[in-house]
Chain A
Amino acid sequence: MKEFMLIFRLKDIEDFKPTPEQVQERLNWLAGIAAQNKLADQGNSLLPFPGSAKTVRPDSVVTDGPYTEIKEFIVGYIVVRTDTIDEAVAMAKENPIFKLGGNIEIREVLKHKGS
């Protein structure tokens, strides 16, 4: 089994506050992975709001949020346990984030030894 991190991105900060229906949809999706015993880490949400998000650049330049130069921002991640990346991709395809114009990046986790 390999582990893959699913990294969620949104385009509109307003979409970060989900409706109760959206919460339920997301939870159904996440629990569906857990029900297959393939959820390695339920992950966390990453707050994109001013005061909760800053970026440090060379020469100690600090900007608010990650979203001054790019059009989309990371809102959270989870880690799944599957045999292949294709299986992780199939899981990602069922996530409701696409209804909001978001996207999901999938990355194989290379574990550092001794950690």
Chain B
Amino acid sequence: MIALLCRHFGLQHIEIAEDIIGETFLKASENWAINGVSENPAAWLYSVAKNRAKDHLKRVTLFETKIAGNIKPDVTETEPDFEFGSEHIEDSQLAMIFAVCDPVNSTESQVCLALQILCGFTVEEIANAFLSRIETIKKRLHRARTHLRNSHFQIRGLSEANIKLRLDSVLKTLYLLFNEGYFSKTNDQLIRNELCAEAIRLTLMLTENPLTDTPQTKALLALMCYQASRLEARTNDSGEIVLFDEQDHSLWNKALIEKGNYYLVNACQGNQASKYHLEAGIAYWHTNPAAPDKWQHILQLYNQLIIIEYSPVTALNRAFAIARVYGHEKAILEAEKLQLNDNDHYHKLLGYLYETINTGKAIDHYSLAAQLTKAKAARRVLEKKIKQLQA
């Protein structure tokens, strides 16, 4: 909703847009408490927000013409043109992501801000995406807004050089947007698929513009295509996640896999292997479950990925790949070095690796994982495992 209002207001007024949203929800809760929730709450909220925005604009215009005009008669700020950067970036959502990815802020802050303002992420979702604490993200967002406001940023007419400079952050934003859709904890399949679809749509647009159609962009799109090809297969009729090994391969979307292959082949120009190349490579091997040396390749890709960029998730996935290639004993040695003692997935992996080697330790790790996990469904699965092992 904030993104929508920003489109009308211009990004300079993000805070006003947010205030209006805040007021709108306040008004909604008052109104709905008295009259009951309206039949179409979303439409109701939008129309209230729109009216508030109009009121605000009226006041501003009044102020500018009647008051500000008298103070500074010769500076007449032209009303911002809402065709954001039409010369270069056609899509307004995309243009705004580029605008927010302003190098006055650090890359991480840029991405946080874009996710919050334009992709509608909550602070908690951003914290999850960055594996950071909520407080850290709040501070980061606050600083980023201040910087952005002070830098008098504008949306229109980003130069070619600026677009290229900002592309990395934009790609990262789209990558996280897709991941939130793909791995999100919410059970609303519709919302999740929409996030994935929006990320794909925006990335596809980047490949259609020569300025932004880099090997990285293609690799990211390939990755999204491969992952999205399994969207259907990874939930069952009651909306529960189906593990990779148990998925019905006939539900995999062959057309999307083909598209992924197409973009990955085209992404392999030049000698740059970005993180997106490596992840797309891993996702490619997962579309070939029967390939005999599949896990060898996947392990090598995870090796390269972890060297480029550390992340606990990559470290754990790599340990799993080691188990597939070299067996559980070797994988336990590697996994125990990671010392991710507060991470439920770490204990879940160790529980799995110990299952056939040391039942006691397997139970200990599964129990720790069950204590640490926030997801109820995951806890039930773990408790079932523990019972099976105790029997």
Contacts and interface: CB of A to CB of B under 8 A. Distances in A.
Contacts of B306: 31, 34-35
A28 B296 CA distance: 11
A5 to B, nearest CB: 17
Contacts of B299: 28
B166 interface: no
A37 interface: yes
Contacts of A92: none
B339 interface: yes
Contacts of A32: 334, 337
A30 B307 contact: yes
A42 interface: yes
Interface string B96-135: 0000000000000000000000000000000000000000
A36 B339 contact: yes
A53 interface: no
A35 B315 contact: yes
B300 interface: yes
B334 A35 contact: yes
A27 interface: yes
B307 A28 contact: no
Nearest to B309: A34
A31 B317 CA distance: 12
Among A27, A28, A31, residue most surrounded by chain B Cβ atoms (within 10 Å): A31
Among A24, A32, A42, residue most surrounded by chain B Cβ atoms (within 10 Å): A32
A36 B315 CA distance: 8
Nearest to A24: B300
Nearest to A35: B315
Interface in A15-34: 24, 27-28, 30-32, 34
A93 to B, nearest CB: 13
Interface residues of A, number: 12
Contacts of B300: 24, 27
Contacts of A35: 306, 310, 314-315, 318-319, 334, 337-338
Nearest to A42: B307
B387 to A, nearest CB: 32
A88 interface: no
Nearest to A29: B303
Contacts of B302: 31
A39 B309 CA distance: 10
A28 B334 CA distance: 10
A103 to B, nearest CB: 23
Among B303, B318, B334, residue most surrounded by chain A Cβ atoms (within 10 Å): B303
A34 B337 contact: no
B47 interface: no
B244 to A, nearest CB: 21
A34 B275 CA distance: 15
B303 A31 contact: yes
Among A30, A36, A39, residue most surrounded by chain B Cβ atoms (within 10 Å): A36
Nearest to A90: B337
A35 B319 CA distance: 9
Interface in B274-328: 299-300, 302-304, 306-307, 310, 314-315, 318-319, 322
A43 to B, nearest CB: 11
Interface in A33-56: 34-37, 39, 42
The 7 closest A-B pairs by CB, nearest first: A31-B303, A35-B315, A34-B306, A37-B310, A34-B307, A27-B303, A31-B306
18 contacts: A27-B300, A27-B303, A27-B304, A30-B303, A30-B307, A31-B304, A31-B307, A32-B334, A34-B306, A34-B307, A35-B310, A35-B314, A35-B315, A35-B334, A36-B315, A37-B310, A37-B315, A39-B307
Given A31-B307, A31-B318, A32-B337, 12 more contacts: A27-B300, A27-B303, A27-B304, A28-B299, A28-B322, A30-B307, A31-B302, A31-B306, A35-B306, A35-B334, A36-B337, A39-B307
